[in-house]
Copies of this chain bind each other. A is one copy, B any other.
Amino acid sequence: MSRCENCIIRQFNSLRAMNKEELKRVSDSKVTKTVKKGEPIFEEGEKLNGVYCVRNGISKLSKLSPNGKDQIVKLATRGEILGQRSVVVEESTNLSAVAVDDMELCFIPKECITDTISKNPNFTKEMLRHMAHELKEADDVIVNMSQKNVKQRMAEAFLYLKNNFGEDEEGFLRLTLSREDLSNVVGTATESCIRIISEFKKKGLLESSGKKIKIADFKGLQRLSESL
C-alpha cells in the first residue's frame, strides 16, 4: 500500500501541514476505499469516525431539503477532504456524500485529525485557512442563488465545471453531470435545466456530442451570468 508520506495529493489539502510523525500515523491507520459511481460515501446525519481524502473521482456533497429535493452544495475532487467540518465540531454531518464517478478514497480516523489539531498549531492554522476559504465560497453561492435567475445560474454552473474540473483534449468538459445532478447544483427543476441547455445550444453558447458538453462561448456565458 502506498504511504501518505509520498502522496502527491496531500499537497492540495491541510495534510501538508502535518509533520513526519503525524503523517506516519495517518499512513498506518488509514484505510483505502473504492466507491462506485452512484454509491454513497456517507449520509446526512451520520456520525463520522473520520474524514475521507479523495484520491480519485468526484463526489457530490448534498443536503436534503424538507420538500424532498437534494441540493448539491459542493463538488469535491482529488485532494479534497470530506467530513472535516463535522470532525472538528464533533457533530454529525450536515451533508451527504455520493460518488459521481468511480472513486478512490482514503479513510482517516478522526483521532488522527483531532490529535493533530491539539498538538500541531500549523496544522490547525492550515485548517482554519481552508475553512475560511470555504466560507467565502459559500457566501458567494448564497448571493448567486438568491440574486440570479435560473438561466444565469446555469451559465455560472458551466463556468464552474470548466474552471474546477477542466476540459479534455477536444474541449469537452471533463465532468459530465446528469441533467438531474446539474439541476440540483443550480437549484431548479430538471425540465427547466434541460430546456435551458437546449436554449444555450441554439444560441451557440454550448455544443454537445453524445453526453459530452463543450463550452462554445465562454465570454458569452460569463456575460450572461453577470448581467440582467
A128 within 8 A of B: yes
A138 contacts which of B71, B135, B226, B228 (Cβ < 8 Å)? B135
Inter-subunit contact B134/A135 (CB<8 Å) = yes
Q: Which of B69, B121, B129, B146 contacts A88 (CB 8 A)?
A: B129
Majority secondary structure, A binding face: helix
| CB <8 Å contact, A141 and B143 | no
The answer for the CA separation of A48 and B124 in the assembled complex, in Å, is 23
Interface centre among A73, A142, A148 (most CB of B within 10 A): A142
**Quick check: B85 and A143 within 8 Å, CB to CB?**
no
Complex CA–CA separation, A94 to B225 (angstroms): 19
Closest to A94 in B: B136
List chain B residues, Cβ under 8 A from A187: 145-147
Mark contacts of A130-162 with chain B using CB atoms, 8 A cut-off: 1 yes-contact digit, 0 otherwise.
011111101111111111100000000000000
A113–chain B nearest beta-carbon distance, Å: 11
Contact indicator B145/A63 (Cβ below 8 Å)? no
Which residues of chain A from 34 to 75 have a CB within 8 Å of any chain B CB?
A: 63, 65-69, 71, 73
B118 lies within 8 A of A67 (CB): no
Determine the residue in chain B with the shortest Cβ distance to A120. Answer: B121
11 A-B pairs within 8 Å (CB atoms) are namely A63-B139, A63-B140, A65-B148, A67-B148, A67-B227, A67-B228, A68-B228, A127-B128, A135-B135, A141-B142, A142-B145
Further pairs besides A65-B148, A66-B227, A95-B139: 17, Cβ < 8 Å: A65-B147, A67-B147, A69-B147, A73-B139, A88-B128, A88-B132, A94-B139, A118-B125, A121-B121, A121-B124, A127-B128, A128-B128, A131-B135, A135-B138, A138-B139, A138-B142, A145-B146
- For the complex of A and B, list the 9 residue pairs with the smallest distance between their C-beta atoms, beginning with the closest: A146-B187, A65-B147, A138-B138, A145-B145, A131-B131, A66-B226, A71-B143, A124-B124, A121-B121
